[in-house]
Amino acid sequence: MILINAKMKKRLIAVSGVVVIAIVLALAFVGSGTAAKTMSVAEAAENPQAGQKVQVSGNVVPNSYDTSKNVLTFKIYDPNGSPEQQLSVRYEGAAASTFGNDVTAICTGRIGDDGTLMCTELVTKCPSKYENADSALTVERLLEYGNEVTGKVVKVAGEIEPDTMKAAGQSERFYIKGNGESRIAVVFDGPLSDEIVSGARVVLTGSVDESGKFQATDVALEG
């Protein structure tokens, strides 16, 4: 049995206290180095604080995005602020199928010396939208019309064909199919909600172009 005298006990308590303080300080230091500071588009654009990890949310400026060698560049703006106040974003990675014009983009990363947000985490959000399919054409009926409906605004309902979804700006966004083997390519550069995935039933508004592709102006879940 080991006996600890009062003097040794005090030393152990003191040492334990120092160890606890050191751990707390270490955790605080690590946390301060990894936590992202939330900033608005205006704050990030006007006071970039180069090198600091930040998280900025905004809507994608229409037609501002470009993909080259798996690097996505685009600009975001605050829908509740000035549309002219914009922040450039650079993201190394493939854009999600929900990415598109005016979609909400939550960007986390560090701002470079040139004011560009070097994004390492990109999350896109789009509100759910539903459309009644009662007045919509089926894919089969749309194709039967042929050139008669070319350039005319119509609604068509169908199922998103599995493994055909792509990000905006890559020619066909996805294909929709009917009950049989009928299918048609859909071109759409707008935002898609998280629920619009392979196999989902959708209602599209738009027109068939001369190449036979459906140029959609609106994509909603069938409901």
Confidence of residue 149 (pLDDT cuts 50, 70, 90): very high
Number of domains into which the chain is organized: 2
Q: How far is residue 128's CA from residue 147's CA, in Å, rounded to a whole number?
A: 33
For residues 166 and 110, membership in a common domain is answered with no
- Please count the other Cβ atoms lying within 10 Å of the Cβ belonging to residue 202: 25
Q: How far is residue 62's CA from residue 74's CA, in Å, rounded to a whole number?
A: 9
Q: So what's the pLDDT on residue 8?
A: 53
DSSP 45-69: HH---TT-EEEEEEEEPTT--EEET
Q: Final residue of a domain: which of 125, 148, 176? A: 125
For residues 106 and 135, membership in a common domain is answered with no
For residues 96 and 158, membership in a common domain is answered with no
Q: Is residue 4 part of a domain?
A: no
- Please count the other Cβ atoms lying within 10 Å of the Cβ belonging to residue 140: 14
Q: Is residue 8 part of a domain?
A: no
Q: Is residue 12 part of a domain?
A: no
Tokens 């995935």 correspond to what residue?
197
Q: Final residue of a domain: which of 79, 107, 125? A: 125
Q: How far is residue 197's CA from residue 188's CA, in Å, rounded to a whole number?
A: 14
- Please count the other Cβ atoms lying within 10 Å of the Cβ belonging to residue 128: 11
**pLDDT digits 0-9 by tens, 167-211:** 887 789 999 999 888 999 999 988 888 899 999 999 999 999 999
For residues 135 and 200, membership in a common domain is answered with yes
Contacts for 175 with CB less than 8 Å, ≥ 6 apart = 160, 161, 164, 183, 184, 185, 186
For residues 107 and 187, membership in a common domain is answered with no
For residues 93 and 174, membership in a common domain is answered with no
| Residues in the chain, total | 223
For residues 92 and 173, membership in a common domain is answered with no
For residues 203 and 140, membership in a common domain is answered with yes
Tokens encoding 141? 């009926």
Q: Is residue 7 part of a domain?
A: no
User: If you average pLDDT over every residue of the chain, what do you get?
Assistant: 85
For residues 97 and 134, membership in a common domain is answered with no
Q: Is the pLDDT of residue 2 over 60?
A: no
For residues 89 and 155, membership in a common domain is answered with no
Q: Final residue of a domain: which of 110, 125, 140? A: 125
Residue-range definition of the domain harbouring residue 136: 130-222
Confidence of residue 31 (pLDDT cuts 50, 70, 90): very low
Where is average pLDDT lowest: 18-27, 43-52, 133-142? 18-27
For residues 150 and 134, membership in a common domain is answered with yes
CB 60 within 8 A of CB 106: no
Q: So what's the pLDDT on residue 170?
A: 74
- Which segments of 48-200 are extended strands (E)? 53-60, 66-68, 71-77, 86-92, 104-111, 117-125, 130-131, 137-138, 154-160, 174-177, 183-187
Tokens encoding 68? 């080259």
Contacts for 171 with CB less than 8 Å, ≥ 6 apart = 187
Threshold 0.85, pTM exceeds: no
Domain containing residue 183: CATH number: 2.40.50.140
Segment 139-161 shows an average pLDDT of 95
Q: So what's the pLDDT on residue 18?
A: 44
Sign of CA dihedral 91, 97, 102, 103: negative
Q: Is residue 69 part of a domain?
A: yes
Q: Is residue 95 part of a domain?
A: yes
CB 107 within 8 A of CB 101: no
Q: Is residue 15 part of a domain?
A: no
Tokens encoding 92? 């190394």
For residues 56 and 81, membership in a common domain is answered with yes
